[in-house]
Amino acid sequence: MTSDPGLACQDSDYATQIQEALDELQQMQEAPRVVTTPEELDTLECEIRGRTNRLSSLLLGLHLQHSLDSEDLKVEQDLLVSQWPKPLKNDGRVQVWVRTAGGDSVPVWVTYYRRQGQRRAGKRYAGLYAGLVLLLDPQVFLS
């Protein structure tokens, strides 16, 4: 965990949401339902799958945030930014939503780097999320 108050809040949000998802699954385990039709079975299966997918997405978001906060990744980010064809400036940490393979989106805080210079009128600065680039597929950008 870092000293950034937004990140401390993010970790506690993950912990709370993970515990809520675990509690819901525990309740389902303690009070099994009797299903008598194929439709009820499909509904139950979809409900269980939705809750387990949400739990896996939250766990992935927690691990992703810790990876983005790691010193090893920060060193790699600095190297990537220094080798970028155009000079980049650290524009601070911003919250972005990452969609998991299960289809859920989880928020993470990541450093945004933008090109130096004057901003185009009404347009976002051209830049990148170096940590996400490195975690997703660094060879696409480094080769």
The range of the structural domain enclosing residue 16 comes to 5-69
Question: How big is the chain by its Cα radius of gyration, in Å?
Answer: 20
Q: Which of 114, 125, 131, 136 is nearest to 80 (CA)?
A: 131
Q: What domain count does the chain have?
A: 2
Q: Tell me, yes or no, whether 83 and 93 share the same domain.
A: yes
Q: Give the separation between CA 114 and CA 87, rounded to whole angstroms.
A: 8
Q: Is the dihedral of CA 7, 96, 120, 85 positive or negative?
A: positive
Residues 6+ apart with CB under 8 A from 132: 68, 96, 98, 110
Check pLDDT > 90 for residue 58: yes
Q: Among 39, 69, 99, which residue terminates a domain?
A: 69
Q: Tell me, yes or no, whether 47 and 30 share the same domain.
A: yes
Q: Tell me, yes or no, whether 136 and 102 share the same domain.
A: yes
SS3 for 140? helix
Q: Tell me, yes or no, whether 54 and 102 share the same domain.
A: no
Q: Tell me, yes or no, whether 10 and 63 share the same domain.
A: yes
Check pLDDT > 80 for residue 26: yes
Q: Among 51, 69, 87, which residue terminates a domain?
A: 69
- Of 2-11, 34-43, 69-78, 102-111, give the lowest mean pLDDT range: 2-11
Q: Tell me, yes or no, whether 53 and 78 share the same domain.
A: no
Kindly indicate the confidence band of residue 57, based on its pLDDT and cuts at 50, 70 and 90.
very high
